[in-house]
A and B are shown apart, each in its own frame.
Chain A
Amino acid sequence: MTAAAMTERPAYSPPQQYRLTFVGELRSEWTKLWSLRSTWIVLLCAVVFSGGLGALISASVPDDQAVGGADAALSFAMAGVSLSSVFVAVLGILTITGEYTTGSIRSTLSAAPKRLGMLWSKALVFGAVVAVLFTAMVFATFYMSQALLDGTAIGDVSLSDDGVLRAMFGYVAMIVYLALLAIAIGAILRNSAGSIGFYVGVIMILPQLATLLPWEWVDDVVPYAPGNVPNTIAVVDTSMGTLSLGESWLWMGIWLVVAYGLAGVLLKRRDV
């Protein structure tokens, strides 16, 4: 060793036991989700809204209108569940746009510079939370609604009836799908107001308004709009819908692939 080398400062060796892993990213997103007050508030709103509205509507249905079979029973029970998808979508959007508006995305992507892991783990964690919460809500609301409708023509729907259980999980899947779509929209637009506006305007309202347009082709296209494709999976009698059960699942998959494909490409390409 030369004298010059001996006066050099020692080489520093960083800790070797730590690794960036996908499981680590999942745990990180879990921590981030529950460490914000807004998560608790919005999910509480979603629970109160879906349970409360389902109960209110079920309780106020006049006996002579409580007809129409299992689908009618479910639509009364799940009215609040469907509407609370807005809360879930807004929260999904905020999990990612909130990172951009506050600047915490720079910390997040410095820790996970490959970037895509952040998107997948956000989607998986939030999707799983929504799935668990709304499975519970769908069943709770169903039993509550049935108790309130007891004695009417639709007050004796059973889970073992043909298609009922599938339709109830269809509601859960629909909400998870909308939540995932919302996260992708947030990742693409990166702005809270813009993303929420886009979701409410384009995903929720536009397909409804479009049916008022005078052109026939609009009616042909509207069932394939991202906000409409899950409709078939949440009904007991699927023969009425434009899309079959299989087509409904297929189109949900197509829209998710399109949305996440675009979100992923933009996430990789854009500066943070």
Chain B
Amino acid sequence: MNARSAGRSVVGMIEIEHLTKRYGKKTAVDDLTFAVKPGVVTGFLGPNGAGKSTTMRAIVGLDAPTAGLARVNGKHYSEFRSPLTEVGALLEAKSVHAGRSAYKHLLALARTHGIPTRRVHEVIDLVGLHEVAGKRVGGFSLGMGQRLGIAVALLGDPAVLILDEPVNGLDPDGVKWIRLLLKGLASEGRTVFLSSHLMSELAQTAEHLIVIGQGRLLADTTVDDFVSGNGKARVRVVSPDAARLAEHLAGPGITIASPERGVLDVSGTEAAVVGQTAAAHGLVLHELRTDRGSLEDAFMQLTADAVEYRQPTEGVK
């Protein structure tokens, strides 16, 4: 499309190539390769200890990889002349000296880059910490600490945002606020990469998903594909003739559960088939719908597979 973008990486692209990180004998990240593109919110999903935080620390150069590369715009983070405007990171909630005020913490970081105090006040207002900006951070709640961390990440108005569990400790208003904020930032063409163990949260915020388990890549896909590809679709039927319908539906590959009287959850078939079967036998249906399966279901299934792969158990299906 144009000559400028042909020879170099896309602005804001995060590239992880064969990243491996060991702490002593423990392998936290194991040959991980993926890329995060600008313009969309990318979720980074994995159970606790999967290596999400380690990967994020490697991107901003705090942890050196045992092998492989973590780069932004084709560069190692430490090569940037202006790191805070390239990448803004929220790593752990409290990366702040407890005895320092929120304002002074931001000011000290701003001064490294010659960022004016006007911008410090801007980000304080943006995250809603105006009233407590002069207070010592030691007295902050978890949610206030998160807001300060987000202010730090936004300080340089960066092209790439890396946020480790940003919704942790936020109240429902805060969660809604950050969801809108991140979508807005992505729509400006920035790269937004956030980790979470709250799968439902990512489903509402992210368009793209990177899923890891035990330091390995499990999926690199869109949220929609992830859910439809991994979630077990099932048909929910409500019928006064549920018991008889179940008899007619039964067959190989079809499982039927009855969570309550008059309700069936049928998997292994489609709603159309269930409807036809009911019509053929003159059975009344009050409700017939397909549940797509939640991101949570999909995630559980995928990580369960990963565990089975690493620890094969015989005789258990």
User: Nearest chain-B residue to A103 (Cβ)?
Assistant: B95
- State the CA gap A35–B80 with chains docked (Å): 28
Contact B84 A20 (CB under 8 A): yes
Q: Is A107 an interface residue (CB 8 A)?
A: yes
User: Does B158 interact with chain A (Cβ within 8 Å)?
Assistant: yes
Interchain CA distance A5-B96 in the complex, whole Å? 42
Q: Within the complex, what minimum Cβ distance (angstroms) separates A148 from chain B?
A: 38
The answer to whether A112 and B105 touch across the interface, beta carbons within 8 angstroms, is no
| A57 vs B37: C-alpha distance when bound (angstroms) | 70
A271 B64 Cβ-Cβ under 8 A: yes
Q: With an 8 A cutoff between CB atoms, is A45 at the interface?
A: no
Q: With A and B bound together, what is the CA distance between A174 and B198 in angstroms?
A: 56
CA distance A32 to B99 in the complex (A): 10
Q: Chain A residues with Cβ under 8 A from B87's Cβ?
A: 110
A264 within 8 A of B: no
Pair A272/B156 contact, Cβ less than 8 Å:
no
Determine whether the beta carbon of B11 is less than 8 Å from that of A13. Answer: yes
- CB of A246 closer than 8 Å to a CB of B: no
Contact A110 B83 (CB under 8 A): yes
Partner of B108, one of A16, A35, A37, A98: A35
- B101 interface residue per 8 A CB criterion: yes
- Measured between beta carbons, the chain B residues less than 8 angstroms from A105 are 95
- Residue B61 lies at the interface, judged by CB distance under 8 Å to chain A: yes
**Contact of A35 with B95 in the complex, beta carbons under 8 Å:** no
Tell me the nearest residue of chain B to A105, going by C-beta: B95
Are the CB atoms of A11 and B38 closer together than 8 Å?
Answer: yes
List of A residues within 8 angstroms of B89 by Cβ: 110
A15 x B92 contact (CB < 8 A): no
- B226 located at the interface, meaning its Cβ lies under 8 Å from any Cβ of chain A in the complex: no
Q: A12 contacts B11, CB within 8 Å?
A: yes
Provide the bound-state CA to CA distance between A3 and B83, in Å.
34
Please count how many residues in chain B sit with their CB below 8 Å of the partner chain's CB atoms: 52
Instruction: Classify chain A's interface size.
Output: 35 or more
Asked if B199 is at the interface of the complex by the 8 Å CB criterion, the answer is: no
Q: Which residue of B lies closest to A102 (CB)?
A: B97
**Complex interface: chain A residues within 8 A of B98 (CB):** 102
Query: In whole Å, how far is A121's beta carbon from the nearest beta carbon of chain B?
Result: 9
Question: Are A37 and B60 in contact (CB-based, < 8 A)?
Answer: no
A19 to chain B, nearest CB (A): 5
In the complex, how many angstroms separate the beta carbon of B115 from the nearest chain A beta carbon? 5
A31 CA / B62 CA spacing, docked (Å): 23
Contact B97 A111 (CB under 8 A): no
B163 CB-CB contact with A under 8 Å: no
Bound together, the chains give a CA A107 to CA B149 distance in angstroms of 9
Q: Counting CB contacts under 8 A, is A109 at the interface?
A: yes
Pick from A21-29, A135-143, A195-203, A233-241 the stretch touching chain B.
Answer: A21-29
Structural contact, A10 and B189, CB atoms closer than 8 A: yes
Bound: A155/B86 CA distance, A: 63
Contact of B39 among A9, A24, A35 (CB under 8 A): A9
Q: A237 to chain B: closest CB distance in Å?
A: 45
Q: In the complex the two chains form, is A11's CB within 8 Å of B11's CB?
A: yes
A212 CB–B CB distance under 8 Å = no
Asked whether A104 lies within 8 Å of B114 as measured between CB atoms, the reply is: no
- Measured in the bound complex, the distance between the Cα atoms of B105 and A108 in whole Å is 10
Q: Roughly how many angstroms separate A113 CA and B152 CA in the complex, as a whole number? A: 15
A173 nearest CB across to chain B (Å): 29
In the complex, chain B residues whose CB is within 8 Å of the CB of A215: none
Q: Which of B78, B81, B92, B156 contacts A106 (CB 8 A)?
A: B92
> In the complex, A113 Cα to B81 Cα: how many Å?
10
Residues on B with beta carbons closer than 8 Å to the beta carbon of A38? 99
A104 to B61, CA, bound (A): 15
Chain B positions 79 through 116: 1 when the CB is less than 8 Å from some CB of chain A, otherwise 0: 01111111101011011111111001101110111110
Residue of B nearest to A268 (CB): B64
Most buried by A among B91, B100, B101, B186: B100
Binary contact track B119-135/A, C-beta < 8 Å → 1, others 0: 00000000000000000
Is A10 in contact with B188, judged by CB distance below 8 angstroms? yes
Given contacts A9-B39, A102-B96, A107-B152, contact A14 B83 (CB under 8 A): no
Of listed B89, B95, B152, B189, residue having the most chain A CB within 10 A: B95
Residue in chain B with minimal CB distance to A27: B111
Known A-B contacts A31-B111, A103-B92, A104-B97; the reply to A113 vs B80 at CB < 8 A is yes
Residue A216, interface by CB 8 Å? no
Report B7 CB to chain A, min CB distance, Å: 16
16 CB contacts below 8 A, A to B, read A1-B1, A9-B187, A9-B189, A12-B159, A12-B190, A17-B114, A18-B85, A19-B114, A24-B114, A28-B108, A31-B108, A36-B97, A98-B99, A102-B96, A106-B62, A112-B112
Given contacts A16-B85, A31-B104, A107-B152, 5 further A-B contacts (CB under 8 A): A2-B1, A103-B94, A109-B62, A110-B62, A110-B87
Closest 8 CB pairs between A and B? A12-B189, A35-B104, A113-B78, A9-B39, A14-B85, A106-B95, A27-B111, A28-B111
